[in-house]
Structure formats: C-alpha cells, structure tokens
C-alpha cells in the first residue's frame, strides 16, 4: 500500500468512526455547545462534510481563494445540512472527491514542498492528509461532548 492508498483507506474508515461518535449523542443534543464560544457536534460535522470543497484550491494548488466573505458564506451554506444521514452522505462524497485527486498524485508529487498561507514547511502530503486529520480531531471533540452529556461511548 502506498501513501495515497493509505490516506484514502484511513479517510474512508474515519468517516465510520466520526459518525459512530455522532450517533452516540442524543439527537436533541447535536447542536448543544459545551461552553460559550464552543462548537457543537453538528457544527463540527458540517465542517467535515463541506471542508474539502471549501478548501479545494488549497488542496490542489496551495492557494487560498476568498476571504472573510467567502468564509461567512461557507458557514451559512453548511448550516443548512442538519441531518446525520445527509451529513454522512456529503462527507462520503467529499472524501471520494479528495480520494480521486489523491490517487492521481505520484509518490514524488506527495513529497513535493508547497507554500501554504500558514507558517511552516509543508508538503503536498500534508494537505492530502488534512481531511483525515480533521475528521479524527472532530471525532475526539464529539466524544468529549458525549462524555459531558454522560452518554455511553460506542466502540
């Protein structure tokens, strides 16, 4: 298994883990925020479901398109996705789109340095794996919310 195949394999498995965590929450608590300024599970799922499209230019070219207005529009649009089934389907579609792109990259391309609008050194593999990392991070956040609600975690 090469790097592209590994990222794609793990990303598809991570969707299952992310939504298993989300489905462990009571439906009426999906939009609950554990503290002022904190994010709900629903908000985090909306990000996972739409982030690939929102940041496609960063993923494919390392350039950021849009600004604060674009970000606000993204938040407004993603807020329309409210059912777990709809969010999971969209996450799977976004992941498939990303997987197709990642599969088109050679090992040498994944190792190429790129310039991103954030500090530090980056390689194409960093942006290829970001969606996987992001879903994993949000799974942890959702499990944290579940722990605050005293909801049994599902294995």
Q: What is the mean pLDDT of residues 31-39?
A: 95
In a domain, 38, yes or no: no
Q: Could you give the C-alpha distances from 64 to 31, 54, 141, in angstroms and in order? A: 29, 10, 26
Handedness of CA 74, 77, 79, 82 (dihedral sign): negative
In a domain, 97, yes or no: yes
Each residue's pLDDT tens digit, 73-117: 999 999 999 999 999 999 999 999 999 999 999 999 999 998 887
pLDDT of residue 116: 82
Q: What is the CATH number of the domain that holds 85?
A: 1.20.120.450
In a domain, 35, yes or no: no
Closest by CA to 52, choosing from 84, 10, 11, 22, is: 11
In a domain, 30, yes or no: no
Q: How confident is the model at residue 118 (pLDDT cuts 50, 70, 90)?
A: confident
In a domain, 29, yes or no: no
Q: Is the pLDDT of residue 151 over 80?
A: no
In a domain, 137, yes or no: yes
Segment (H or E) for 147: helix 124-148
Please, which residues have CB within 8 angstroms of residue 46's CB and are 6 or more apart in sequence? 78, 79, 81, 87
Each residue's pLDDT tens digit, 19-32: 999 999 999 999 99
The range of the structural domain enclosing residue 134 comes to 3-21+47-148
pLDDT of residue 155: 47
Q: Count of domains in the chain?
A: 1
In a domain, 142, yes or no: yes
Q: What is the mean pLDDT of residues 120-144?
A: 95
Residues 49, 90: contact at Cβ < 8 Å? yes
Residue with tokens 């942006």: 127
Give CA–CA dist 65/85, Å, rounded: 29
What b/e readout covers 119-130, taking b as 16+ CB neighbours within 10 angstroms? Answer: eeebebbbbbbb
Read off the pTM: 0.91
């Amino acid at each position: 298994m090469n790097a592209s195949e590994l990222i794609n394999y793990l990303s598809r498995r991570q969707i299952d883990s992310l939504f298993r965590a989300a489905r462990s929450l009571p439906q009426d608590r999906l939009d609950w925020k554990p503290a002022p300024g904190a994010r709900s599970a629903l908000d985090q799922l909306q990000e996972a479901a739409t982030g690939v499209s929102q940041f496609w230019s960063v993923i494919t070219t390392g350039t950021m398109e849009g600004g604060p207005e674009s970000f606000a529009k993204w938040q407004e649009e993603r807020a329309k996705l409210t059912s777990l089934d709809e969010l999971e389907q969209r996450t799977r579609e976004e992941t498939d789109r990303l997987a197709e792109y990642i599969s088109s990259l050679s090992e040498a391309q994944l190792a190429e340095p790129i310039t991103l609008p954030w500090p530090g050194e980056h390689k194409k593999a960093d942006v290829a794996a970001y969606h996987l990392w992001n879903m994993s991070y949000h799974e942890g956040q959702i499990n944290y919310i579940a722990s605050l609600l005293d909801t049994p975690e599902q294995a």
